[in-house]
């Protein structure tokens, strides 16, 4: 995840932009997981909890509510069409664009008697989701280092390419205690692709 207090838009960025975020300004916290099989087009998929990663972003002294966050996804060990997962992008289905759901307390454990708050942010335009192949990538849809923001779907776990999801307005205040944070996707394709078990293979947020 990009460690920024207000993540920049993807438009007008140079080649290898997502890789520069991944290697240079991402959070120290990360996670890996093996995704489940996607067998139903249109199904809603919830990725694992990334609260510890989001916590690093909102814990920055200069973070403010209603600023933008970028979630980065890459580092896959998959290399075939069957091992990737294909999800809806904003371009094809704005109502099924990826969304970020964060549950938080204003202070740790809501010890002031307050209740947890749920903040939902969605990819807000066709330029808020992007893909980029890294050197050595296989089975990717872009040229190496090309920042691609016009895709009809998002390929995750495809040949080690990086996917960036920008959530332009995140209603979480500075210093909030993040209880849970998940990214939700809608399945775009479950045919010849996406049907291989990924046991032993890992993706990294």
Supply the pTM of this predicted model: 0.88
Asked if residue 203 belongs to a domain, the reply is no
Asked if residue 7 belongs to a domain, the reply is no
Asked if residue 151 belongs to a domain, the reply is yes
- Residue 163, domain extent: 17-29+46-188
CB 65 within 8 A of CB 170: yes
Please give the pLDDT value at position 75. 75
Asked if residue 34 belongs to a domain, the reply is no
Q: φ, ψ for residue 28 (rounded to 5)?
A: -75, -25
Please give the pLDDT value at position 201. 46
Asked if residue 105 belongs to a domain, the reply is yes
Asked if residue 8 belongs to a domain, the reply is no
Please give the pLDDT value at position 38. 82
Element (H, E) at 55: helix 51-58
Tokens of 89: 């992008």
**Other C-beta atoms within 10 Å of 97: how many?**
25
Please give the pLDDT value at position 100. 97
pLDDT tens for the chain, 205 residues long, are: 888 999 988 888 888 888 888 888 888 888 877 777 788 899 999 988 999 999 999 999 999 999 999 998 887 766 676 777 889 999 888 999 999 999 999 877 787 777 899 999 999 998 899 988 877 666 566 677 777 887 788 888 766 788 899 999 999 999 999 999 999 999 998 866 666 655 444 556 5
**Total domain count for the chain?**
1
């Amino acid at each position: 995840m990009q460690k920024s207090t207000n993540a920049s838009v993807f438009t007008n960025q140079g080649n290898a932009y997502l890789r520069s975020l991944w290697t240079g300004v991402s959070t120290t916290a990360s996670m890996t997981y093996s995704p489940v099989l996607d067998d139903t087009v249109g199904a809603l998929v919830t990725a694992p909890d990334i609260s510890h990663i989001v916590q690093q972003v909102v814990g920055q002294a200069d973070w403010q509510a209603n600023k933008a966050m970028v979630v980065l996804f890459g580092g896959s060990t998959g290399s075939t069409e069957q091992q990737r997962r294909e999800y809806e992008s904003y371009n094809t289905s704005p109502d099924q664009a990826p969304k970020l759901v964060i549950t938080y307390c204003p202070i740790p454990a809501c010890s002031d008697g307050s209740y947890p708050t749920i903040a939902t942010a969605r990819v807000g335009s066709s330029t808020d989701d992007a893909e980029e192949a890294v050197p050595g990538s296989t089975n990717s849809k872009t040229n190496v280092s090309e920042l691609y923001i016009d895709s009809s779907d998002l390929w995750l776990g495809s040949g080690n390419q990086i996917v960036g999801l920008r959530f332009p307005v995140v209603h979480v205040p500075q210093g909030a205690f993040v209880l849970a944070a998940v990214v939700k996707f809608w399945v775009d394709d479950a045919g010849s692709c996406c049907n291989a078990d990924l046991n032993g293979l890992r993706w990294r947020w």
